[in-house]
Amino acid sequence: MEVLLLALIVAIMAPTLYLAGLHDVPNSIAIPVRTRALTPGMAVRAAASFNALGVLLAMPLGLYLFSWFEFPDMEAAMALSVVASALAAIFGWNLFTYFRGMPTSLTHGLLAALLGGTLAAVSIGDVSTQSVWALPWLTPLLTLLISPLVAVGLAYVLVFAAVRIARGEDPHDVNRIARGLQSVSVGVTSLGTGLQQGQRFAFVLLIALGAAGIADPEGWMGPAYVVFAVLIGAGALHGGWRIGHVLAHRLVVIDPLRGMVATTATSGLLFMGSLGLALPLSTSLTAASAIIGAGSNQRFATVNWRQCRRIALYWAATPVVTGAGAAVLTLALSPLL
């Protein structure tokens, strides 16, 4: 049974990896394409390449994350069913939100799905509730709640500095430099996105391999990261334009200077979180919030607040839907174990 469940996890993880690349690539390319810093083709190729590179560089960070987040002790088949259910819930929600054009958080949903599936396992198995709540859920939860506010505030404040520096300069020169910096940010943000994605999926796979009784699960991670990079990069190559259109055209009216501020704030926060602090920042939440913060710091109305509220609603629904979905799937699989 454990072998079948592990095979099911691998089968679900493959399209989930592809969808993760498709879902997150607009966070790095939407604004540079909107402000004509890069052509769509150049942007997706650069983003896919750096995203894949970030995944490959994430291996030590993924192992570090696994070292301090120990999954609750439960039967192997139950643990594997929780992981499979969490991945299935994430895949279904990400697929739905992609076609709705909504930039939701993979990290947000994954943590909620694992928690929902684990709580379902507690209700039907010999699993200690105390061991579940003893896990460090608070740190990622606070990070996910606070990071959008930090991104909005940082981008809003940085506009003041950017406008002061650009004051008196030729507008064409300002736009040219801003577009050039946005081009650089595509690679930086995509690299940070890949680092985050690599950590998340490595964490899930390590749980599955450990539960299945695979000897030396860390030794399997080298080839696994290569597969992660290929599938996520392939998804990124398709551009994710449904979400990109919302971020670049329906959320704010933004010029190259403020677009540069938004992309710089996003890449800076991603690297601070993924490399400096090893915190689970969400690329989608950070990028959308930075765009809102930079676009709102103008003398005339530029932000589509109705669209902002719609995005916030999907953000709030993400943990509820994925957590409940993983719980239901875990309960549905339990009679087969």
CA distance 209 to 174: 52
- Nearest Cα to Cα of residue 198 among 172, 167, 221: 221
Identify the domain containing residue 290 by its residue range: 2-336
Euclidean distance between CA atoms 241 and 311, whole angstroms: 16
Angle ∠(94,327,63) on CA atoms, nearest 5: 65
Q: Which two tokens stand for residue 123?
A: 């209700």
Q: What is the pLDDT of residues 15-57, one digit of tens each?
A: 999 999 999 999 999 999 999 999 999 999 999 999 999 998 8
In the structure, what pLDDT confidence band is assigned to residue 218 with cuts at 50, 70 and 90? confident
Helix and strand totals (H; E) in the chain: 14, 0
| Nearest CA among 93, 26, 151, 87 for reference residue 316 | 93
User: Contact, 281 vs 107, CB < 8 A?
Assistant: yes
Kindly give, in sequence order, each residue whose CB lies less than 8 Å from that of residue 110, ignoring residues fewer than 6 positions away: 86, 90, 200, 204, 322
Residues in contact with 266: Cβ distance below 8 Å, sequence separation at least 6, in sequence order: 27, 28, 151, 185, 189, 283, 286, 287, 290
pLDDT digits (tens, 9 = 90+) for 269-307: 877 765 656 666 778 888 999 999 998 888 777 889 899
Which pLDDT does position 100 carry in this prediction?
93
3-state SS assignment for residue 303: strand
How many structural domains compose the chain?
Answer: 1
Of residues 145 and 66, more confidence is placed in 145
SS3 126: coil
pLDDT digits (tens, 9 = 90+) for 49-101: 999 999 988 776 555 454 445 566 677 788 899 999 999 999 999 999 999 99
User: Residue 66's pLDDT is what?
Assistant: 46
The rounded distance, in Å, linking the Cα atoms of 255 and 4 is: 52
pLDDT band at 126 (very low <50, low <70, confident <90, very high): low
pLDDT number for residue 70: 59
**How much is the pLDDT for 272?**
74
Place of tokens 């940085």: 158
Nearest to 252 by CA among 289, 212, 223: 289
User: Rounded mean pLDDT of 167-185?
Assistant: 91
Neighbouring C-beta atoms of residue 231, cutoff 10 Å: 22
Among 95, 103, 108, which Cα is nearest to 19's? 95
pLDDT tens digits, residue range 220-268?
A: 778 888 999 999 999 999 988 999 999 988 888 889 999 999 999 998 8
* Rounded Cα–Cα distance for residues 212 and 298 (Å): 55
DSSP-derived letter for residue 70 is P
CA distances from residue 44 to 18, 28, 92, 225 in whole angstroms, order as listed: 14, 9, 24, 21
Residue type, 309: R
Is residue 8 within 8 Å of 86, Cβ to Cβ?
A: no
CA distance 90 to 98: 12
Q: Residue 303 forms beta bridges with which residues?
A: 252
Asked if residue 8 has pLDDT above 60, the reply is yes
Q: How far apart are the first and last CA of the chain?
A: 7
